[in-house]
Amino acid sequence: MDLKGILINSLKGFDPRNEIKNPVMFITEIAFVISIFILAFPANFHVPYSTVYIQFYISVTILLFLTVFFSNLSTSLSESQSKAITLSLEKMKKTTKATILKDGKETIANSNELKKGDIVLIKKNEIVPGDGEVIKGSGYVNESNVTGESRPVLKLVGDSVTGSTTLVSDELTVKISVDPGNSFIDSMIDMVQKSIRERTPNEIALSIFLSGVTLIFLIVVASIFSISSYSGIKPNIDILIVLLIALIPTTIGGLLPAIGIAAVNKVSKYNIISKSGKAVENAGDIDTIILDKTGTITMGEREAVKFHPNINYDEMNLGKKSLLCSLNDETIEGLSIVKLATSENISYSESELENYEFIPFSSDTGYSGLRKADEYIYKGSLKALSEKLNLNDTYINGLCKQISLKGGTAIPVATNGKFIGVIELNDILKPGIKDRIGDLHRMNIETVMLTGDDEVTAAYFAREAGIDDYIANSKPQDKYNRVIEEKNRERMVAMIGDGTNDAPALSKADVGMAMNTGTQAAKDAANMIDLDSTPTKLIDVIFLGKQILITRGSLTTFSIANDISKYFVIMPAIFYTFPELAFLNILNLTDPLRAITSALIFNTIIIVILVPLAIRGVKYTPSSASDILKRNILIYGFGGLVFPFIVIYLIYVLLGLGGILW
């Protein structure tokens, strides 16, 4: 949005129907209107009519207008960012032709006519017509317009695709998973637009608190008016208005909407769809974070590096069996086993696969491979194969433990009633993950790692990364059980997931983040969706949630501290005829009207000064709650108390130079 549009929206904000949503600014606007009447009809309000007082009335009226205007401006600036994001998202949406498959026939339709459940065929270089799940084929999809990642992503059966991306190789058959208007891009646009209208629970609670404080000071000022009249002093209504506006928390009241909108803007800049503002806010209160090992703690691209044959077995025989049971395995591990076997010149013939049925990997079974009649070739976790096949081999057990102790992953291979060897896969910690886990610890957040690896491998990576707790040989039910366990301890839980079996746990977590590459069930259950499918981004969201809460708390502290300073400026000016109250005049300001005007000028400009901070956010350094509180009190409490005295005094001096006003 251009500057003209921002200014127009700031003026539209004066509409009482809009301003009443912010009680502090609504009171300020009422004070502005009353000030106009006082300026226009001074005699009706029994106020002195002189050049000095006319200047004072004009100053108060202008400054009250600017206070409300700058508050509206801060909101308008934040909303302009939201609208810019919305426009860029709308440009992503592409209407294209879609090939619908139905009853063995192909029909052409517009992409915006597709409904949930439609089956579409997408060919090389065609635009994906809508969000859906791959049910046949494989191919690379360019998602750069959505995720920013320039490299195309391989999509296999079960993976999800996003509308408006482009298939750059092969052919995919996709089942559309959403109705028109409910795509990821539509959801993201809706999320950004709602950020302009909706407030989060914490923001609502703070608004209620600020309304209560405003009501208290309204009663206080009304009491001062009554006491002054009773004592025989004719109170200057404009001075009482200034006192009211200076005492109520106009600073945080003017910045609160901008903080909330800026928070949702930041989430969208992380390329994350947040289904509610509450999810972002919950991130700041997280006590426990549940992380998968593969892809989050480690690089996740485990590669087969060596075949370890059992006693009386040779490496080539193990390699051949490993190759055969991995040919149809499209997991990263399966592809790497084929690659290792090929690099060692291990080959096979089609006849060796005759009558075999491929058994895909399942997190419930823990293995995959080939089977025909009473014959099989399985590879998987030691625990799963031992239980499934009732096998126990001391040599294989020791070999698996040895591999696990050095951080590798051991994949035993079994055929026809015995283990024939172990495939060694290597994975490494993600760069910087240990420091990030350390940051979580400094925030008193407990970390839990879940992995399908055995106890030894799990313990190794947990120790290396600094993880508090882990669950080895974990199954989908373990995630759900751990979330329930943490919530029973009255802890706020965050977790990530990408599979259908993660959906129950994601739905129970306070912050559940699903990967864009995950299944539709996971994305439906989560309250956040990461379009980049970067698991460690959950940690970034927690940092962002902390920053939002700290920004709101810091500016509230600063605003209340400001009110105390302004009190010591305005109260002595109101009761300057009472020498008993002279001790309140800390700055020794001798001109009451100039002192009051200086306080009001500060009250107005401080909103403008703090707008960039409200939008950018207070810098957050991971630390404990007590350290954050101390820093908040020192910088924004003590600083908010001293800073106004300095600035108000400077304004007072500047107004007096050359007789600018008085």
Alpha-carbon gap, residue 422 to 310, rounded angstroms: 8
Cα separation, 639 vs 131, whole angstroms: 51
The Cα–Cα gap between 386 and 192 comes to: 51
Pick the CATH number of 97-181 from 3.30.428.10, 3.40.47.10, 2.70.150.10, 2.30.130.10: 2.70.150.10
Diameter of the chain by CA atoms?
111
| Dist. CA 564–CA 642, nearest whole Å | 10
Q: What is the DSSP pairing of strand 446-450 with strand 469-471?
A: parallel
Which pTM does this prediction carry?
0.61
Amino acid identity for residue 109 in this structure: A
pLDDT for 308: 93
- Which are the contacts of 226, defined by CB distance < 8 A and separation ≥ 6? none
Q: Which of 421, 227, 233 is nearest to 323 (CA)?
A: 421
Strand, helix or coil at 115? Answer: coil
CB 134 within 8 A of CB 161: yes
Concatenated DSSP letters of 482-506:
HHHHHHHTT--EEEEE-SGGGHHHH
pLDDT tens by residue, 598-651: 888 888 888 888 888 877 878 877 777 778 788 888 888 888 889 999 998 898
Order of strands across the sheet that contains 367-372: 303-309, 418-426, 408-415, 375-380, 367-372, 357-359
Q: What is the DSSP letter of 430?
A: P
Secondary-structure breakdown of the chain: helix, strand, coil percentages, each rounded to the nearest 5: 55, 15, 25
Cα gap 411→175, rounded to integer Å: 34
Separation CA 254–CA 616 (nearest Å) = 16
Give burial (CB, 10 Å; 0-12/13-18/19+) of 639.
Answer: middle
What is the pLDDT, as a whole number, of residue 496?
81
CB 256 within 8 A of CB 203: yes
Q: Which residues of the chain have pLDDT under 70?
A: 1-2, 43-53, 77-95, 145-151, 182, 184-185, 187-203, 225-236, 238, 258, 260-265, 268, 276-277, 295, 300-301, 363, 517-518, 574-582, 658-662
Q: 407-457: per-residue pLDDT in tens?
A: 788 899 999 889 999 999 887 777 788 888 888 888 888 999 888 777 877
Q: Quick one: pLDDT at residue 89? A: 57
Catalytic residue chosen out of the listed positions 131, 292, 427, 502: 292
Tell me, what DSSP letter sits at residue 637?
I
Note the residue count of the chain. Answer: 662
Q: Give the side-chain half-sphere CA count within 13 A for 25.
A: 32
Q: What is the pLDDT of residues 310-369, one digit of tens each?
A: 998 889 999 999 999 998 887 778 888 998 999 889 888 888 888 888 988 876 778 889
Judged by DSSP in three states, 5 sits in helix
| Geometric angle at alpha carbon 507, from 505 and 511, rounded to 5° | 90
Q: What is the DSSP letter of 284?
A: T
Q: Which residues pair with 426 in a beta bridge?
A: 303, 408
CB 45 within 8 Å of CB 38: yes
- Spatial separation of the C-alpha atoms in residues 144 and 332, rounded to whole Å: 22
pLDDT at 23: 80
- 639-656 and 592-616 are packed helices; what angle lies between their axes, rounded to 10 degrees? 130
Separation CA 510–CA 494 (nearest Å)? 6
DSSP H or E run through 132: strand 132-142
Query: Whole-angstrom Cα distance, residue 292 to residue 475?
Result: 11
Rounded to 5 degrees, what angle do the CA atoms 296, 299, 301 make?
A: 120
- Work out the angle at residue 305's Cα, subtended by the Cα atoms of residues 301 and 306, and round it to the nearest 5 degrees: 145
Which CATH number, 3.40.50.2300, 2.70.98.60, 3.30.70.20, 3.40.1110.10, labels domain 303-426? 3.40.1110.10
Topology at the third CATH level for domain 274-298+429-531: Rossmann fold (3.40.50)
Phi then psi dihedrals of residue 307, to 5 deg: -100, 125
- 238 carries an active-site annotation: no
Q: Per-residue pLDDT tens for 126-141?
A: 888 888 888 888 888 8
C-alpha 416/C-alpha 372 separation (Å) is 11
pLDDT at residue 194, as a whole number: 55
CA-to-CA distance for 377 and 362, rounded, in angstroms?
A: 16
Domain boundaries, the chain: 3-85+189-267+543-659, 97-181, 274-298+429-531, 303-426
